[in-house]
Amino acid sequence: MERDIGKPLFNLFLLIASASAFVAASALPNIEIPGDLSAAFFPKLLSGLVFILAIPCLIKDLQEWRRAGSEGSKAAAVNPVRGIAQWCFAIVLLVAYIYAFERLGYIASTALFTFFCVMGLALISGAWSTLSAAQKGLSLLFALVFSVVLAGAIFYVFTDLFQIPLPT
């Protein structure tokens, strides 16, 4: 069994977050409406529930983590680093795109995002390394043209046909 500290850490985070949410709910102003519950009642109830539910999850994950450690398994056959790197690449690229969205304008940010996405995914998946020099040049050109055409086409469709104003 693979030893994974992420799960207990996440449950610990849930415990802390729910405790913080409970404290934040307790600090809400208390406006009394006769017969009605306060605005803080439901948030306190729910954050309390998350706290209670996170405890068995944390205990279970800690037990699994310890068991995996005591079994001394070195059978971590699957290397999760590559998978997580791919996820992180995709998320970071998305965040960068959102940051550039209104600053660079729709067409420029979208073309850049698409280009880096296509190239990045080809690199990460290992498909790039299998190509010859000529194929690499062709793929690069394709990615460039595809990115610009896609960005331009979407911009035209949404601004002119659907009348949705996009940042320029």
Partner 1 sequence: MEILDNLALGVSVAFTIENLMYCALGVTIGMLIGVIPGVGHLAAISMLLPLTYYVPATTALVMLAGIYYGAQYGGSTAAILLNLPGTPSSSVVCLDGYPMTKQGRAGVALFMTTIASFVGSFITVIVLAAFAPPLADFAIAFNSADYFSMMLLGLVAAAILVQGNPAKGLAAVVFGLLLGIVGTDVSTGIQRYTFGLTFLYDGLNIVAIAMGIFGVTEVVANVGKVVQVKNDQKITFRSLLPTRRDLKESIFPMLRGTGIGTGIGVLPGTGTSIGSFIAYAVEKKVSKNPEKFGKGAIEGITAPESANNAAAQSAFIPTLTLGIPGDAVMALMLGALLIHGITPGPNVISDNPDLFWGLVISFLIGNVMLLILNIPMVGLWVRLLKIPYPILYPSIILFIVIGVYSINYSDMDIMLVALFGAIGCLFLLLGFEPAPLLLGFILGPMMEENFRRAMLLSRGDLMVFLERPVSATFFAMIAALVVWSIYSAIRKKRVAVAKEF
Smallest distance from the beta carbon of 30 to partner 1, in angstroms?
9
User: What is the Cα–Cα distance from 23 to 46, expressed in whole angstroms?
Assistant: 12
Three-state DSSP at 73 gives coil
For helices 41-70 and 6-26, what crossing angle results, to 10°?
160
Number of residues that bind partner 1 (CB under 8 A): 62
Smallest distance from the beta carbon of 108 to partner 1, in angstroms?
14
Interface with partner 1 (CB under 8 A), residue from 12, 19, 68, 89? 89
Restricting to residues 117-156, which ones interact with partner 1 according to CB under 8 A? Answer: 117-118, 121-122, 124-125, 127, 146, 150-151, 154
Residue 101 near residue 155, CB atoms below 8 Å: no
Smallest distance from the beta carbon of 92 to partner 1, in angstroms?
10
